[in-house]
Amino acid sequence: MTISSFHPTARTLMGPGPSDVNPRILEALSRPTIGHLDPEFVSMMEEVKSMLQYAFQTSNELTLPVSAPGSAGMETCFANLVEPGDKVIVCRNGVFGMRMTENVERCGGEAVTIDDAWGKPVDPDKLRDTLKQHPDAKIVAFVHAETSTGARSDAKTLVEIAHGAGCLTIVDAVTSLGGVELKVDDWNIDAIYSGTQKCLSCVPGLSPVSFSERAIEKIKGRSSKVQSWFLDLNLVMGYWGGGAKRAYHHTAPVNSLYALHEALVLLQEEGLENAWQRHQLNHLALRAGLEAFGMDFVVDEEWRLPQLNSVRIPAGHDDATVRQRLLNEFNLEIGAGLGDLAGKVWRIGLMGYASNRKNVITCLSALEAVGLKADGSAVAAAQAVYDK
Ligand SMILES: *Cc1c(COP(=O)(O)O)cnc(C)c1O
Q: Does the pLDDT at position 93 exceed 90?
A: yes
With contact defined as beta carbons under 8 Å apart, do 295 and 311 qualify?
A: yes
Among 237, 268, 299, the domain-final residue is 268
Is 342 exposed, middle or buried (CB count within 10 Å of its CB: 0-12, 13-18, 19+)?
exposed
Is 320 in the same domain as 335?
A: yes
Shared domain check, 221 and 163 = yes
Distance CA(129)–CA(132), nearest Å, equals: 5
Q: Which ligand 1 atom lies nearest to the CA of residue 74?
A: 10
Which of 174, 197, 305 for mutating ligand 1's site (highest number of atoms within 8 Å of CB)?
174
| DSSP letter, residue 8 | P
Range of the structural domain that residue 213 is part of? 23-268
In a domain, 6, yes or no: no
Q: Is 30 among the domain residues?
A: yes
Atom 8 of ligand 1 has which residue's CA nearest to it?
Answer: 70
DSSP 298: S
Q: Using pLDDT thresholds of 50, 70 and 90, give the confidence band for residue 244.
A: low
pLDDT of residue 243: 64
Which pLDDT tens digit goes with each residue over 107-123? 999 999 999 999 999 99
Rounded Cα distance between 316 and 288, Å, is 21
Q: End of a domain among 245, 268, 291?
A: 268
- Would 2 be classed as within a structural domain? no
Instruction: Tell me the pTM.
Output: 0.97
* One domain, residues 264 and 276: no
Which residues share a beta bridge with 335? 347
Angle between helices 357-369 and 378-387 (to 10 degrees): 160
The residues, any chain, with a CB within 8 Å of residue 27's CB and separated by 6 or more, are: 262
Please tell me if the CB atom of residue 109 comes closer than 6 angstroms to any atom of ligand 1: no
Is pLDDT at 324 greater than 90 in this prediction? yes
For residue 281, is it within any domain? yes
CATH no. for residue 355?
Answer: 3.90.1150.10
Assess whether 173 and 292 both reside in one domain: no
Cα 388 to ligand 1 centroid, rounded to whole Å: 35
